[in-house]
Amino acid sequence: MNAEQVKQSIRNIPDFPVKGIQFKDLTTALREPDCLQWMRAEITKQYQSKGITKVLGVESRGFILAPSVAMDLGAGFVPIRKPGKLPAEVLEQTYQKEYGVDRIQIHKDALTAEDVVLLHDDLLATGGTMAAAIELVRRFGVKKIYVNFVVELDGLEGRKLLSDVEVSSLIHFPDK
Ligand code: AMP
C-alpha cells in the first residue's frame, strides 16, 4: 500500500454539501483494511520520535484516526468539539469555514504547559478550522504543536494560515 493507492480509493463528491465544493469522501478509503492500516501507520511513523504527549482530534472526522495514533504513540487523546458537547469548563474559538461560520471548544483542563501536542484532522481545506484549533492550544502554553492531516487540498493554500507550526499531510489533491 502506498499514498497513490490510498488516494485512488478516496471518492470525490461534486457539490456536497453545497454547490461548488468538491467533497473528498474518505469513507471509501477507511472501509478498506489496508488503506486504514496505512493511514494509521504513516501518521504514527512521522511522529514517533517527537515526544508527543497528547493527540488532539478535531470533531468529527478528526476522531476517526486520532485515538489509534495516540495509542500507538503512548500519548493521551483529547477531543476538540463543537459547542455544547463538552460537559466541563471550556475555552472557545470562532472561525470561518469553507462553507459557513463555526465554533470549536476544548476542556480548560485538557492540556498543560508540559504537553507536546499533535493536532489531527482528516482534511485541510481553507485552514480555518485548524487555525482556530491552534489558537485554542496556544492558550495552554504547550511546549510544541505539530499538525497533521490525511488529505490536503493544495489549491486552497490553507497551509498559509497555519504559521509557526510543523504541518504534514499524507495525501495531496490540487483542488481549489
Ligand atoms: P477548513 O477549515 O476549510 O480547512 O475545512 C476543514 C474541515 O472541513 C475538515 O474538518 C473537513 O472535514 C471539512 N472539509 C472542508 N472542505 C472539505 C472537502 N472539500 N472535502 C471534505 N471535507 C472537507
Least confident of 19-23, 81-85, 106-110: 19-23
- Give, using CA atoms, the residue closest to atom 16 of ligand 1: 125
Catalytic, out of 59, 61, 135, 159: 61
Examine the residue annotation and report whether 98 is marked as an active-site residue of this protein: yes
Grid coordinates representing 129 are 478550522
pTM: 0.96
Examine the residue annotation and report whether 61 is marked as an active-site residue of this protein: yes
Pocket lined around ligand 1, Cβ cut-off 6 Å: 21-24, 58, 61, 97-98, 121-129, 158
DSSP annotation of 63: G
Pairing of strands 100-107, 90-97: antiparallel
Report, in this order, helix, strand and coil percent for the chain, each rounded to 5: 30, 35, 35
C-alpha closest to that of 54 among 36, 77, 80, 33: 77
Angstrom distance (rounded) from CA 84 to CA 150: 27
- Give, using CA atoms, the residue closest to atom 9 of ligand 1: 123
What average pLDDT does this structure show over 162-174? 96
Residue 98 has pLDDT above 70, yes or no: no
